[in-house]
Structure 1
Amino acid sequence: MTRSFEKSNAANKRLHDVIPGGAHTYAKGDDQFPEQMAPVIERGDGAHVWDVDGNEYIEYGSGLRAVSLGHRHPKVLEAVRRELDRGSNFVRPSIVELDAAERFLATVPTAEMVKFAKNGSDATSAAVKLARAVTGRPLVAICADHAFFSIDDWFISRTPMSAGIPAEIGALTVGFPYGDLAATEELFRQHDGEIACLILEAATQHDPPAGYLEGLRDLAHRYGALLIFDEMITGFRFSAAGAQGLYGVTPDLSTFGKALGNGFAVSALAGKREYMERGGLRDSHERVFLLSTTHGAESHALAAAIAVTEVYAEEDIAARLHERGERLARGVREVAAAAGVQEHVVVRGRASNLVFATLDEDRQPSQVYRTLFLRELITGGVIGPSFVVSSALTDADIDRTVEVVAKACTVYRQALDAQDVNAFLGGRPVRPVFRKYV
């Protein structure tokens, strides 16, 4: 099928004229897609989306992993519509805030209190601030192997896009390697009495080494720091209770978002009562301005979060996400092997959170081969920066995806054999998000 991108390309130009980067999230920028093949989406339904040119796609990584139930999930929309008829924001807390908090804490029983916001950066930055207040220490230790924690200075200062951030602020963040307790302890020794917290994702593409999370918690506490889990991705997607529920390790603080609202804007800072109360009205310590967001308690978004937790419980969504991912991963690996590119097109990660790696002739990560692969997927009607599944995917969707991947792998093999991948690109390669210059 020949696909036209005429309207999308025109819309992309207009987007760049009025929005820096042409998108409100850098990961959605058209530089992340093959040139002249960056669809602008008009609508979505279930696991499918349609662009402004009328092209239909099977979608992966929906909303940057946020839409785990699929677009327009009926129970979520019903809850949202019900709240919209009641008003969305008031001068005092609405009863839905209480309902949402109690439902969240019942779903994530390792947390004792929760405060809602609109995006992940709000929550992670609040967690970092709270850890600094509790410990009286200045330094934040981030897992250097994990891709993203916040748009705020304490994290972005550590990336190539640190323009506008004083070096003094960047110096207050240090890094530790995932899975290496000895190296992390050495970091504590180097900065004795200065590290307020360790923040990391409990797991990404692989399960943590045996005893690692327990050891990291004990290490942090031994040196007087707090342990923070960033559960933006793992929350609900790994299990309804997050990675902390799956692996049985309770952090001091944790942050949730993405799948919590199934596309509606809601995030959460959760944690132990003794720390969370620092941001409240019942604690005798110096007050912490923890989170205060005008729209953090919009009733329709919190109603969406309540509906999501109910659907996860009623339909065992976490198990379905794993089953969908396992079927997809199995199919992709089979067709990659059949085309002789199994060492170049590699599916990685937990089944509910799959990513793909595109490796070159020397089996090194390659943006140009990623471009080729994405180009073939889009041409075949599959879109996504990853293979992260939603529960709305049907067997037919996955089977069709595998067919498209099979064709992509055949072209991939041709490019490897020709030793000239650029001839297959049709334009400039995709670019990494974090880079110093355009």
Structure 2
Amino acid sequence: MAVDDFQLPESRAANERLHALIPGGAHTYAKGDDQYPEGLAPVISHGRGAHVWDVDGNRYVEYGSGLRSVSLGHAHPRVLEAVRREIDRGGNFARPSIVEVRAAERFLATVPTAEMVKFAKNGSDVTTAAVRLARAATGRARVAVCRDHPFFSVDDWFIGTTPMSAGIPDAISELTVAFPYGDLAATEELLTRHRGEIACLVLEPAGHTEPPPGYLAGLRALADRHGCVLVFDEMITGLRWSEAGAQGLYGVTPDLSTFGKALGNGFAVSALAGRRELMERGGLRHPGERVFLLSTTHGAETHALAAAMAVQATYAEEGVTARLHALGERLAAGVREAAAGMGVADHVLVRGRASNLVFATLDEHGRPSQEYRTLFLRQLLAGGVLAPSFVVSSALDDADIDHTVEAVGRACAVYRKALDAADPAPWLGGRPVKPVFRRFA
């Protein structure tokens, strides 16, 4: 469909209703309509497998499903069967359910580098719990986060470092410092400058690039030498890099790690895992001062833990991680070939591990461009592809990849026209998409 003929009247009306009732028009900023071309932010009716349908009746091949959480595809039958079974038995009780034992055993068998685990509902809670635990264990106040990774928590210790820091006291923000990914010398300089002050190093163990040789092991040694806690945020790398996360793939064990997203295939479940010596400080069987680690009313709902167990079993038995990599490699090759065929290979780039692909849109000077991203997204949407990223789910098949590559080819043809004109404005259809983290709306 030509992009000028692609209209979403029902989605537009639904977006207006959303904004009238919900700040930002969505419950996650990354899902906001400001992240999509003007007037072309589909509101979803339902999904199945690798496809979603909007309220206007359009079907899309979907990528980055649920902010990378739906890695098996929507309404996965094995996950739904496990969830339905537990819902019929009750979901939340006055005491722990036996499901909590089984879920913990399953998780620790999947991630054998951890010795204890505590479940919650979202990534922010468990990552903040890791920071609190590190501060309690070390008696130090400062937190060092990797500045090259976009998000760790909605809580003040992290959000205070972003352009959206309104409402957060400077005294809180100043306790968080940053280090660059892949640069051990710079990290050691930071630790030396704040000697005896930094409680923990928090980072994603891998991102759009592979860790440099020896980097994670070197970071492990630095943390040990300076007496701080090493925290791996495995929200994205968990299951997608290996069943045991990046720590299982690269063979470096953090003190604490946090998991979520793919763990529940869209159901709300996250996990804080780590060394027994640290984790027990949030328990009842140690002689020291207690740490209020995690205590959530809904953190151990039986149906979400059942979903997590079903996801882990599916990954192990069906080789899902390998399938994600194979699908991603096929998609990346097709996109690169389509971009090259239209003469925009230096401007439409695919980056990242095959199981976690993103794309970059560069202008005529080779600079990242929100305008060209808008142009690209508009063309993909009109071609039946909903792709804030190219992060695959295992529900995709060859026909879905082929359809996506064809849509990318058409988008790249328009991209070439805009580059030749040195002006993408005629192809934007309105204001450009915006970055999530910005000071003003």
Q: Is residue 331 from structure 1 mapped to residue 329 from structure 2 by the alignment?
A: no
1:355 and 2:361 aligned: no
Matches of 2:84 and 2:107, distance apart in 1: 20
- Aligned AA for 1:202? P
Alpha-carbon separation, structure 2, partners of 1:44 and 1:158: 36
Size of the alignment, in residue pairs? Answer: 438
Residue 169 of structure 2 corresponds to residue 166 of structure 1: yes
* Offset, 1:4: 3.0
> Which amino acid in structure 1 is aligned with residue 48 of structure 2?
D
Asked whether the equivalents of residues 231 and 254 of structure 1 are also in contact (C-alpha less than 8 Å), the reply is yes
Structure 2 Cα separation of the partners of residues 76 and 174 of structure 1: 40
The 3-state SS of whatever aligns with 1:307 is helix
Amino acid paired to 1:114: V
Tell me the equivalent position of 2:391: 388
TM-score by length of 1: 1.00
Output the amino acid matched with 2:147.
A
Q: Deviations over 1:143-170 (max 9, x none)?
A: 0111000000000000000000000000
Check if 1:246 corresponds to 2:249: yes
Which residue, 18, 23, 31 being the options, matches 2:34?
31
The correspondence for 1:199, drawn from 183, 193, 202, is 202
Distance in 2, Cα, partners of 1:431 & 1:225: 37
Partners of 1:335 and 1:409 within 8 A in 2: yes
Secondary structure of the residue that 2:161 maps to in structure 1? coil
> What residue in structure 1 maps to residue 301 of structure 2?
298
- 1:255 aligned to 2:244? no
- Say whether 1:265 aligns with 2:268: yes
CA distance in 2, matches of 1:373, 1:4: 16
Counterpart Cα distance in 2 of 1:385 and 1:295: 30
User: Equivalents in 1 of 2:49, 2:318: separation in Å?
Assistant: 16
User: What one-letter code is carried by the residue in structure 1 that aligns with 2:207?
Assistant: T
- SS at 1:360 equivalent: coil
Alpha-carbon distance, 1:3 to partner: 3.4
Structure 1's consecutive aligned runs of 4 or more residues displaced over 2 angstroms after TM superposition are: 1-4
Between the aligned partners of 1:256 and 1:289, the Cα distance in structure 2 is 19
2 CA distance for matches of 1:364 and 1:425?
18
Describe the SS at the equivalent of 1:377. helix
Instruction: Give, in whole Å, the separation in 1 of the partners of 2:144 and 2:421.
Output: 45
Aligned runs of 1:78-97 on 2, under 5 Å?
78-97=81-100
Q: Please state how far the C-alpha of 1:206 moved relative to its aligned partner.
A: 1.1
Equivalence for 1:377: 380
8 A contact 1:42–1:50 mirrored in 2: yes
User: Separation in 1 of the partners of 2:426 and 2:411?
Assistant: 15
* Contact 1:60–1:387 (Cα < 8 Å) also in 2: yes
Alignment correspondent of 1:107: 110
Name the residue aligned to 2:49: 46
Distance 1:357 1:285 in 2: 49
The CA distance in 2 between the partners of 1:323 and 1:342, in whole Å, is: 22
The residue number in structure 2 matching 1:231 is 234
| Separation of aligned partners in 2, 1:235 and 1:56 | 29
Matched, 1:136 2:139: yes
Summarize deviations over 1:208-257 as a string: whole Å, max 9, x none: 00000000011011001010000000000111100000000000000000
Q: Is 1:312 equivalent to 2:315 in the alignment?
A: yes
| Matched letter for residue 287 of structure 1 | R
In structure 1, distance between residues paired with 2:313 and 2:195: 45
Which of the residues 327, 343, 346 maps onto 1:343?
A: 346
The equivalent position to 1:5 in structure 2, one of 2, 5, 8, is 8
CA contact (8 A) 1:3 1:55 kept: no
The Cα offsets for residues 396-416 of structure 1, whole Å up to 9 and x where unpaired, read as: 000000000000000000000
Deviations 1:183-227 (A, max 9, x none): 111101111100000000001011100000000011011001010
Q: 1:398 aligns with which of 390, 396, 401?
A: 401
Q: Which residue of 1 aligns with 2:440?
A: 437
5+ residue gaps, structure 2:
none
Which of 401, 404, 409 pairs up with 2:412? 409
Identity %: 75
Deviations 1:26-49 (A, max 9, x none): 000000000000000000000000
